[in-house]
Amino acid sequence: MNVAQKLISSHLVEGKMNAGEEIAISIDQTLTQDATGTMAYLEFEAMGIPKVRTRVSVSYVDHNTLQSGFENADDHRFLQTMAGKYGIYFSRPGNGICHQVHLERFSKPGQTLLGSDSHTPNAGAVGMLAIGAGGLNVALAMAGEPFWLVMPKVMKVILRGSLKKGVSAKDIILDVLRQLTVKGGVGKIVEYTGEALKNLTVPERATITNMGAELGATSSVFPSDEQTLAFFRAQGREDEWGELRPDKDAVYDEQLDVDLDNLVPLIAAPSSPDNIRTVREVQGTPIKQVCIGSCVNSSYADLMIAAKMMKGKKVHPDVSLTVSPGSRQALQMISENGALADLVSSGARILESTCGPCIGMGHAPPTGAVTLRTFNRNFPGRSGTPDDQSYLCSPLTAAASAVAGVITDPGEVLTEPIIIPLPDKYIIDDAMIVPPSPEPEKVVVERGPNIKPFPVKEALEESLTSRVILKVGDNITTDDIMPAGAKILPLRSNIPAISEYVFSKVDSEFTSRAKASGGGIVVGGMNYGQGSSREHAALAPMYLGIKVVFAKSFARIHKDNLINFGILPLTVEPEVYDTLEEGSEIELPSVAKEVKESDRITFIDKKSGKTFTTLHGLTQRQREIILAGGLLNYVKYKA
Q: Can you give the binding site for ligand SF4, defined by CB under 6 A?
A: 63, 97, 117, 119, 294-295, 355, 358-359, 376-377
Nearest approach, Cβ of 36 to ligand MIC (angstroms)?
4
Nearest approach, Cβ of 48 to ligand SF4 (angstroms)?
30
Q: Does residue 461 contact residue 568 with C-beta atoms inside 8 Å?
A: no
Q: Is 386 exposed, middle or buried (0-12, 13-18, 19+ CB in 10 A)?
A: exposed
Give the one entry of ligand MIC, ligand SF4, none that residue 30 binds, where binding means its C-beta sits below a cut-off of 5 to 8 angstroms depending on kind. none
Q: Which of 96, 98, 79 is nearest to 30 (CA)?
A: 98
Could you say which residues in the range 90-149 bind ligand MIC, by CB under 6 A?
117-119, 132
Kindly tell me which of 63 and 552 has the beta carbon lying closer to ligand MIC: 63
Give the one entry of ligand MIC, ligand SF4, none that residue 36 binds, where binding means its C-beta sits below a cut-off of 5 to 8 angstroms depending on kind. ligand MIC
The DSSP string of 415-448 is SS----PPPSS-----TTEEPPPS-GGGPPPP--
Q: Is 183 exposed, middle or buried (0-12, 13-18, 19+ CB in 10 A)?
A: middle
Instruction: Select the residue interacting with ligand MIC from 472, 484, 544, 635 (CB under 6 A).
Output: 484
Q: Does 534 bind ligand MIC (CB under 6 A)?
A: yes
Nearest approach, Cβ of 204 to ligand SF4 (angstroms)?
17
What is the rounded distance in angstroms from the CA atom of residue 519 to the CA atom of residue 18? Answer: 38
Q: Does residue 266 contact residue 178 with C-beta atoms inside 8 Å?
A: yes
Nearest approach, Cβ of 220 to ligand MIC (angstroms)?
14
Binding letters toward ligand MIC, positions 188-207, x by CB under 6 A: --------------------
Burial code (b: 16+ CB inside 10 Å, e: under 16) for 591-623 equals: bbebbeeeeebbbbbeeeeeebebebebeeebb
Nearest approach, Cβ of 441 to ligand SF4 (angstroms)?
33
Neighbours of 1 (CB within 10 A): 16
HSE of 247 in the Cβ direction (CA atoms, 13 Å)?
9
Could you say which residues in the range 349-368 bind ligand MIC, by CB under 6 A?
359
Kindly tell me which of 116 and 408 has the beta carbon lying closer to ligand SF4: 116
User: Quick one: which segment of 190-198, 284-292, 412-420, 528-536 binds ligand MIC (CB under 6 A)?
Assistant: 528-536
In eight-state DSSP terms, residue 460 is: P
Instruction: Select the residue interacting with ligand MIC from 353, 450, 532, 622 (CB under 6 A).
Output: 532
Kindly tell me which of 170 and 377 has the beta carbon lying closer to ligand MIC: 377
Nearest approach, Cβ of 64 to ligand MIC (angstroms)?
9
Nearest approach, Cβ of 386 to ligand MIC (angstroms)?
17
Q: Is the peptide bond before 533 cis (omega within 30 degrees of 0)?
A: no
Kindly tell me which of 63 and 156 has the beta carbon lying closer to ligand SF4: 63
Instruction: Select the residue interacting with ligand MIC from 4, 8, 35, 234 (CB under 6 A).
Output: 35
Binding letters toward ligand MIC, positions 373-412, x by CB under 6 A: ----x-----------------------------------
What is the rounded distance in angstroms from the CA atom of residue 636 to the CA atom of residue 628? Answer: 10
Edge-to-edge, what's the strand order for the sheet holding 320-323? 276-278, 266-268, 389-392, 370-373, 289-292, 320-323, 349-350
Nearest approach, Cβ of 576 to ligand MIC (angstroms)?
30
Q: Does residue 284 contact residue 263 with C-beta atoms inside 8 Å?
A: no
The continuous run of DSSP H or E covering 154 comes out as strand 153-160
What is the rounded distance in angstroms from the CA atom of residue 147 to the CA atom of residue 12? Answer: 10
Q: Does residue 220 contact residue 140 with C-beta atoms inside 8 Å?
A: no
What is the rounded distance in angstroms from the CA atom of residue 421 to the CA atom of residue 227? Answer: 11
Kindly tell me which of 6 and 63 has the beta carbon lying closer to ligand SF4: 63
Nearest approach, Cβ of 117 to ligand MIC (angstroms)?
4
Kindly tell me which of 180 and 539 has the beta carbon lying closer to ligand MIC: 539
Kindly tell me which of 378 and 466 has the beta carbon lying closer to ligand MIC: 378
User: Quick one: which segment of 87-95, 322-330, 437-445, 526-534 binds ligand MIC (CB under 6 A)?
Assistant: 526-534
Q: Does residue 155 contact residue 220 with C-beta atoms inside 8 Å?
A: no
Kindly tell me which of 165 and 183 has the beta carbon lying closer to ligand MIC: 183
Q: Which of 300, 269, 298 is nearest to 282 (CA)?
A: 269
* 245-253 CB contacts, 8 Å cutoff, 24+ apart: 245/3, 246/1, 246/2, 246/3, 246/6, 246/191, 246/193, 247/1, 247/2, 250/1, 250/2, 250/3, 250/5, 251/2, 252/2, 252/154, 252/155, 252/156, 252/191, 253/19, 253/153, 253/154, 253/155, 253/188
Phi-psi region of 412 (alpha: psi -120 to 50; beta: other; left: phi over 0): alpha
User: Quick one: which segment of 11-19, 87-95, 336-344, 529-537 binds ligand MIC (CB under 6 A)?
Assistant: 529-537
Kindly tell me which of 68 and 345 has the beta carbon lying closer to ligand SF4: 68
Instruction: Select the residue interacting with ligand MIC from 299, 533, 553, 584 (CB under 6 A).
Output: 533
Nearest approach, Cβ of 324 to ligand SF4 (angstroms)?
8
What is the rounded distance in angstroms from the CA atom of residue 399 to the CA atom of residue 292? Answer: 8
Give the one entry of ligand SF4, ligand MIC, none that residue 533 binds, where binding means its C-beta sits below a cut-off of 5 to 8 angstroms depending on kind. ligand MIC
Kindly tell me which of 122 and 332 has the beta carbon lying closer to ligand MIC: 122
Q: Does residue 196 contact residue 536 with C-beta atoms inside 8 Å?
A: no
* Beta-bridge partners for 292: 323
Give the one entry of ligand SF4, ligand MIC, none that residue 130 binds, where binding means its C-beta sits below a cut-off of 5 to 8 angstroms depending on kind. none
Give the one entry of ligand SF4, ligand MIC, none that residue 534 binds, where binding means its C-beta sits below a cut-off of 5 to 8 angstroms depending on kind. ligand MIC
Q: Does residue 15 contact residue 24 with C-beta atoms inside 8 Å?
A: yes
SS3 322: strand
* Beta-bridge partners for 96: 327
Binding letters toward ligand MIC, positions 49-68, x by CB under 6 A: --------------x-----
* Beta-bridge partners for 390: 371
Nearest approach, Cβ of 98 to ligand SF4 (angstroms)?
6
Nearest approach, Cβ of 25 to ligand MIC (angstroms)?
20
Give the one entry of ligand SF4, ligand MIC, none that residue 97 binds, where binding means its C-beta sits below a cut-off of 5 to 8 angstroms depending on kind. ligand SF4
Nearest approach, Cβ of 384 to ligand SF4 (angstroms)?
12
What is the rounded distance in angstroms from the CA atom of residue 613 to the CA atom of residue 594? Answer: 11
Kindly tell me which of 11 and 119 has the beta carbon lying closer to ligand SF4: 119
Give the one entry of ligand SF4, ligand MIC, none that residue 294 binds, where binding means its C-beta sits below a cut-off of 5 to 8 angstroms depending on kind. ligand SF4
Residues making contact with ligand MIC (CB under 6 A): 35-36, 63, 117-119, 132, 359, 377, 484, 531-534
